[in-house]
Amino acid sequence: MKYILDLSDVTDRDELYDAIEDQLPVPNYFGRNLDALYDDLSEVSDSWDLIVKNYEEFAESDPQYFKKFKHTLKDLMVDIPDFTVHFSSEDEDEYDNGEESEYDNSGDDYSDPDDNYSDSDSYDKMD
């Protein structure tokens, strides 16, 4: 299944979780944290192609949490073979399903299981 998570006007965590609840098939009891996001999306049995678009404002307003959000999605890609994530700028109308689409503008490779992120074990803990 193809899902689009449009983060237009998302500037904080509450708005992120509002968008997730409105646009993705998470349960009513969704825990509104990154651990719950990982758990709920990892239980979906269908293959997923998740497109995250218009993320720039959120990435700028809360860069630490956006990085942790990206790491959660990266972990899902590593752990679930049929789960892919693509980041799209607001100007892009088409989404490339090829290998390059697994890179966002930062150059991080979300398909590389050897990519080691030191803070990925404490998603919701902010320094």
Q: Where are the domains of the chain?
A: 2-102
- Percent of the chain residues topping a pLDDT of 70: 70
d(CA 38, CA 28): 15
Q: Distance of CA 91 to CAs 42, 71, 81, 88, Å? A: 30, 24, 29, 8
Pick the CATH number of 2-102 from 3.40.30.10, 3.40.50.150, 3.90.420.10, 3.30.370.10: 3.30.370.10
Helix (H, G, I), strand (E, B) or coil at 43: coil
Phi, psi of 86, rounded to the nearest 5 degrees: -130, 135
Question: What is the number of H-type helices and E-type strands within the chain?
Answer: 4, 3
d(CA 125, CA 127): 7
Q: What is the pLDDT of residue 44?
A: 80
First to last CA, the chain: 36
Least confident of 5-19, 26-40, 43-57: 43-57
Q: What is the pLDDT of residue 91?
A: 54
Instruction: Say yes or no to pLDDT of 112 above 80.
Output: no
pLDDT digit string (tens) for 50-106? 999 999 999 999 999 999 999 999 999 999 989 999 999 765 544 443 333 343 434
Prediction pTM value: 0.72
